[in-house]
Amino acid sequence: MAAQEDLIYRLNRQDEIVFVNEAWDRFALANDAPDVTAEHVLGRPIWEFITDLSTQQIYRDLLARVREGRSVRFPFRCDSPAERRFLEMHIHLMEDGQIEFRTQTLSIERRPAVPLLARQASPSRDLLRMCSWCKKVFADGEWVDIEEGIERLRLFEAPALPMITHGMCDHCAVKMAEILAAM
Ligand SMILES: [Zn+2]
């Protein structure tokens, strides 16, 4: 796999996005998310882009600790329909007081395209819970990989795909609590 450029964005003391690098813009455009390129996000508070309340709370805790001078590094997933992407986030305080979020690609695995992750999929009214950190879905009372969830929930037998609501799975919630406690 060719080396991937790190994706970078930075926040000022008011939690506003004041910098994104070119790799960020290219990544956004390649992932069907033209609404998060530089021209749309610069000057706006990060909270406009994190709508899930539990994820917001975790980010607030993280930012408070980083502003005390501690840095954090953790693995996470950001899949596309045809790829499993294993990434690592590094958050640290810069000398001028800005906070830098740097995402490094650890590895990418190709897989048969999963339509559920495509934005164009026409949603039904049912909500499907998906962990916004590891991309597992909640099916039959437990968190499982999306391919497994599709099978268990018989998603392709339903007339329309369910809408996805993001949150955090139990495993990631515990892991994040450990990361915060160790900071
Ligand atoms: Zn998770």
Segment 6-21, tens digit of pLDDT: 999 999 999 999 999 9
Q: Does 122 share its domain with 162?
A: yes
pLDDT value of residue 6:
94
Q: Does 102 share its domain with 155?
A: no
pLDDT value of residue 121:
57
pLDDT value of residue 158:
57
State the distance from the centre of ligand 1 to the C-alpha of 149, rounded, in angstroms.
Answer: 14
Q: Does 40 share its domain with 92?
A: yes
State the distance from the centre of ligand 1 to the C-alpha of 18, rounded, in angstroms.
Answer: 28
Q: Is the pLDDT reported for residue 127 higher than 80?
A: no
Q: Does 104 share its domain with 120?
A: no
DSSP 8-state code for residue 173:
H
At 160, the pLDDT band (50, 70, 90 cuts) reads: low
State the distance from the centre of ligand 1 to the C-alpha of 130, rounded, in angstroms.
Answer: 8
DSSP 8-state code for residue 2:
P
Looking at every residue in the chain, the average pLDDT score rounds to: 82
State the distance from the centre of ligand 1 to the C-alpha of 133, rounded, in angstroms.
Answer: 5
State the distance from the centre of ligand 1 to the C-alpha of 164, rounded, in angstroms.
Answer: 14
State the distance from the centre of ligand 1 to the C-alpha of 175, rounded, in angstroms.
Answer: 9
Which residue from 36, 35, 45 is spatially nearest to 12, judged by alpha carbons?
Answer: 45
pLDDT value of residue 151:
76
State the distance from the centre of ligand 1 to the C-alpha of 78, rounded, in angstroms.
Answer: 11
Q: Is the pLDDT reported for residue 109 higher than 60?
A: yes
Q: Does 90 share its domain with 33?
A: yes
CA distance 168 to 17: 24
Tally of structural domains, the chain: 2
State the distance from the centre of ligand 1 to the C-alpha of 58, rounded, in angstroms.
Answer: 13
Calculate what percentage of the chain has a pLDDT beyond 90: 27
1 occurs within a structural domain: no
Q: Does 22 share its domain with 100?
A: yes
CA distance 50 to 27: 18
At 155, the pLDDT band (50, 70, 90 cuts) reads: low
Q: Does 120 share its domain with 66?
A: no
State the distance from the centre of ligand 1 to the C-alpha of 145, rounded, in angstroms.
Answer: 10
State the distance from the centre of ligand 1 to the C-alpha of 135, rounded, in angstroms.
Answer: 6
* Enclosing domain of residue 129: 115-166
At 2, the pLDDT band (50, 70, 90 cuts) reads: very low
Q: Is the pLDDT reported for residue 120 higher than 70?
A: no
Find all residues with CB under 8 Å of 15, minimum gap 6, and list them: 45, 46, 47, 63
Q: Does 11 share its domain with 78?
A: yes
